Amino acid sequence: MWLDDFRAVYTREKQWTSARLSGVGIICHSGDASVTVPLEADQRHDDAGLDPSAVMDLRLFKSSFSDKNEFSWATPQPFWGFPFHETCWILLAILHKPQEFEAQALHGLFRSLPHVSVGLLSFGHNYGGIMKYLPKPEEHIPGEEYEIYRRYGRRRYYPQDPKRDPMEYSDPLNISSLQEIFQQNLKGQGEFHEKNNADKATMTNDTPLRVSNPTDCFQIFPTEISDCILMFLPSKDVLNVKLASATFAALPLTKTFWASRFQRGFEFHCVFESHGLQTKDYDWESIYFGVRSLQDNYNFKNRRRIWKLLLLVEELHGRLISAELQGTASYSFFEPDAPEDKRSWNLASGVLNEPEIDFSDGCRSLFTRTVDITFKVTGVFVTFARFNGMEYVSGLRFQQHNGVSSSLGYVVLNEEIEMDVDGSLLSKDGCGISGFYLAINSRGVRAISLILSSGKVSKWFGKHDGIPKTRLFLNHGDVISLKAGFDAFKMVALGSLGDDFTPTGLSDLRDHARWLPDLPNESLSLNVSSLPLRTRRPPTKYEPLTMVLYGGLHGAHLSKLTEISVWMGEYMEILGIYFTYSTEVDGHKVHTFGRRWPSGRDERNRVPCDCFGTGDCSLDDCPRDKRVDFPIDGPQGEIINRVDLHNDIDGAFMGFRINTSFNRTATFPQKLVDDYPDEYPLLPVETAKLTTITGFYAILSSSQAMRCLGVISEYIRKDDYRGAIPEARRKAKRTLSMTQTE
């Protein structure tokens, strides 16, 4: 079966730069950690007289490079690599003709991707629909990243599972129906009888002629120009333009147009049988509708699915072989011969996986580069690399006053973007770069913004909405020193000179945590003393802190708050907090912090119950979740003036209590405190003096309880109090008066 034959891009032990393409081997069991495969690309496992010395035992998907044996029960294998179905490799070669793929580039690409399951690398997509996303899209929380997993427990493709789509088993390379279509429509070989006449009528030259419209601007174009316009349009837009314009409605679709549907960028580019054929020799209109009639053919569906995935590989391969890594090489596990840089660095990064551990999520730094910029910077340029439809920062270039450029990473001059295009930021005397704002997900740097010594900030470059953010300040002095980590195509870490994090230091949580939706405003106090130490440390996992300013900046919305609701799970874990307002705030009267109160059935087919977990429910399938609603009289000046937390002995968040300025309290969950008053004591959060509580921050998840809870407060000026939060104003005045008396 076609699914058994495979090739691999492989290397031996720690020969990182010596990757090769293997011959064709065979996989008998999908769970095998090692397989036997010929060493040379022109050999097959079933070649007659194949010399046993010409084959190797190959370790698949190796991602941990510890000196210890990865599997105690297995014999260590010197050869390791990443497999490709032979059929997919043939399709990839056809796609990339006449060039050949470089095994070294592909090996570097695959080393840059997490290994998430047996036989799977995580490209960020769901393999054309045959894998599932976790969490489900309807349960997704902003900033949360999707993981993929198999739809079915059975890993092997056969014996065929009736629950699986037969497309997955179907050979995408040899499709007899396609060959028949081309044979039947070769000029002089007869006519192909279309089945989808209704579809054809909407696209062919039989479109009714419309009355000339003097407002139709396309009337002035020569026919040749109109033909060219149609050839560049996607097929669905061709129909739309024919409906919108009488000129195009009357224009016949030429043989060249129909042939263009099989070119790169159009719907049937995957029909490689059409590549290189002469337009004049075939009835391309009939071929188009003949191929279109194969939409439900399992083999053709699989061809289209795989072709789209291979286009992503080809795009990345093109970047890998065209962009050279720039900067001064620094010692790392994968470059042991580079000189060691012993300076201390502050790094902002994705979720970096060290070489000694299993690479199952996040990113891995394969190369480390540094740059020292000695002259005043007059221009900054950023280069991006595309990966699965997303853009990542791949390199930075700094233009200096003396005309010299210093580059860091994969810089492509004809693709880079200038970050100060009008010269309004860096051209002024004495204005330099003091740092960066960075949008970073688990896989690397998605967007960047300049922080200037004048206090100005540039706009964002790259995708930053919904991406966790942090900031990186540069070292003071005449020389700007930067260090960055890279995988095979993108930046995964960026750092500046500085001291390592110390728990007792004065480092700001803004500088090493990742924040959603944005970094907290400088006017906000984060009151970090109440947080467990592990939350205050630089993150080692993808755990961004999500912030909600329920009171708004400067307390603008405190007077609108009318209710706080808390959703607790079956085991009293905090799942979500909801803030209800008297009027709409940013387009909504209810704002959700954490998981949403479910509107449908859960994973055990249970519906949310109106009992809210009160214990009075008689339903057998009640999920036993509990929602507690606590009214807040914001219009009359009631505010939260104290928050008490209860954490377990390891610092894990268990619950909290809010206290209001009207001497009312609410505890979530109350039962935990009632049953275990000594084990889970409530401890007050120490907020900055003269500040008012206006928000919270936490680590959120769609599949787990809320982890940690931080309190945000802000000093609100007298002018901000007027008419908005009278009680808060009175409280601040009383506090200020007491302070002055003391």
Beta strand spans in 256-403 (E): 325-326, 328-329, 345-349, 367-373, 377-387, 390-400
- What pLDDT does residue 658 have? 96
Query: What is the enclosing helix (H) or strand (E) of 218?
Result: none
pLDDT of 91: 96
Residue 701 predicted with pLDDT over 80: yes
| pLDDT at residue 193 greater than cutoff 90 | no
Q: Tell me, what's the pLDDT at 717?
A: 79
Left if phi > 0, otherwise alpha if psi is -120 to 50, otherwise beta: which for 198? alpha
Q: How confident is the model at residue 280 (pLDDT cuts 50, 70, 90)?
A: confident
- Give the model's pLDDT for residue 718: 64
pLDDT band at 678; cut points 50, 70, 90: confident
- Give residue 481's pLDDT: 94
User: Region 16-34: what's the mean pLDDT?
Assistant: 83
Work out whether the CA dihedral 608, 612, 617, 622 comes out positive or negative: positive
CA distance 427 to 429: 7
Q: pLDDT tens across 553-567, in order?
A: 999 999 999 999 998
Q: Which residue has the higher pLDDT, 486 or 421?
A: 486
Structure tokens at 158: 């056969």
> What are the b/e assignments for 7-39, b being 16+ CB within 10 Å?
bbbbbeeeebeebbbbbbbebeeeeebbbebbb
- Angstrom CA distances, 632 to 579, 629, 639, stand at 10, 10, 7
Q: Look at residue 569 in the predicted model and tell me its pLDDT.
A: 84
524-525 vs 377-387, strand pairing mode:
unpaired
Amino acid at 20: R
Residue 634 has pLDDT above 70, yes or no: yes
The answer to whether residue 186 scores a pLDDT higher than 50 is: yes
pLDDT band at residue 605, thresholds of 50, 70 and 90? very low
The predicted pLDDT at position 527 comes to: 93
Residue 213, pLDDT above cutoff 80: no
537 backbone dihedrals φ, ψ, rounded to 5°: -75, 160
The residue ranking higher by pLDDT, 498 or 329, is 329
**pLDDT value for 407:** 97
Per-residue pLDDT tens over the stretch 94-135: 999 888 899 999 999 999 999 887 678 999 888 998 888 887
Peptide bond into 114 cis (omega under 30): no
Is residue 197 over pLDDT 50?
no
What pLDDT, on a 0 to 100 scale, did the predictor assign at position 654?
Answer: 87
Structure-derived torsion over alpha carbons of residues 624, 625, 631, 632, reported in degrees to the nearest 10 = 150
Instruction: Map out the domains of the chain as residue ranges.
Output: 5-169, 186-300, 325-500, 545-741
pLDDT at 264: 94
> Can you say how many angstroms the Cα of residue 540 is from the centroid of all Cα atoms in its chain?
17
Between 73 and 266, the more confident residue is: 266
Question: What share of the chain in percent tops pLDDT 70?
Answer: 82
Residue 506 has pLDDT above 60, yes or no: no
Interval 320-353: pLDDT, tens: 998 999 999 999 999 999 999 999 999 999 999 9
* pLDDT above 50 for 739: no
Mean pLDDT of 656-685: 86
b (16+ CB within 10 A) / e for 404-422:
eebbbbbbbeebbeebbee
pLDDT at 603 over 90: no
**Which sign does the torsion angle of CA 228, 231, 234, 238 carry?**
positive
Mean pLDDT of 723-734: 50
Q: Quick one: pLDDT at residue 204? A: 56
Q: Percentage of the chain with pLDDT > 90? A: 56
Q: Is the pLDDT of residue 88 over 80?
A: yes
Question: Residue 73: pLDDT above 80?
Answer: no
Token pair belonging to 4: 């058994």
| Among 319, 333, 371, 334, CA closest to 484 | 371
The top-scoring range by mean pLDDT among 508-517, 527-536, 557-566 is: 557-566
pLDDT of residue 426: 82
Phi and psi, residue 117, nearest 5°: -165, 170
Q: What is the rounded distance in angstroms from the CA atom of residue 379 to the CA atom of residue 458?
A: 12
Mean pLDDT on 49-53? 92
Distance CA 601, CA 572 (A): 20
- pLDDT(702) > 70: yes
Write the CB contacts of 252 (distance below 8 Å, at least 6 apart in sequence).
205
The H-or-E segment that residue 626 falls in is: strand 626-631
49 has a pLDDT exceeding 50: yes
Give the span between the Cα atoms of 138 and 596, in whole angstroms: 10
> Which residues partner with 494 through β-bridges?
348, 484
pLDDT of residue 89: 96
Using the predicted structure, report yes or no on whether residue 206 has a pLDDT greater than 60: no
Asked if domains 325-500 and 545-741 share a fold, the reply is yes
**pLDDT at residue number 334:** 96
Beta strands 461-462 and 444-452 are: antiparallel
More confident residue, 724 or 104: 104
Is the model's pLDDT at 682 over the cut of 90?
no
Q: Is pLDDT larger for residue 187 or for residue 443?
A: 443
Contact 671, 572 (CB under 8 A): yes
pLDDT-derived band of residue 32, with 50, 70 and 90 as boundaries?
A: low
| Fold held by 545-741 | Vitelline Membrane Outer Layer Protein I, subunit A (2.100.10)
Q: What digits encode the pLDDT tens for the residues 149-177?
A: 776 554 554 445 666 788 988 999 999 99
Q: 382 has which bridge partners?
A: 396, 417
Mean pLDDT over residues 606-634, rounded? 68
User: What is the residue-averaged pLDDT of the chain?
Assistant: 85
Asked if residue 26 has pLDDT above 60, the reply is yes
User: Token digits for 519?
Assistant: 């970094």
Q: Which span out of 110-124, 133-147, 267-281 was modeled with the highest average pLDDT?
A: 267-281
What pLDDT, on the 0 to 100 scale, is given for residue 225?
A: 92
Domain 325-500, CATH class in plain words: mainly beta
User: What does the alpha-carbon distance between residue 711 and residue 515 come to, in Å, rounded to a whole number?
Assistant: 14
- Give me the residue label for tokens 């949580």: 509
Does the pLDDT of residue 85 top 80, yes or no? Answer: yes
- Specify the DSSP class assigned to residue 188: T
Return the minimum-mean-pLDDT range out of 213-217, 396-400, 499-503.
Answer: 499-503
- E strand map for 51-111: 55-60, 79-85
Mean pLDDT of 654-669: 94
Interstrand relation of 5-12 and 79-85 (parallel, antiparallel or unpaired): antiparallel
Looking at the predicted structure, is the pLDDT value of residue 534 above 80?
no
Sheet bearing 491-497, strands edge to edge? 328-329, 367-373, 480-486, 491-497, 345-349
Q: Which helix (H) or strand (E) holds 731?
A: helix 726-741
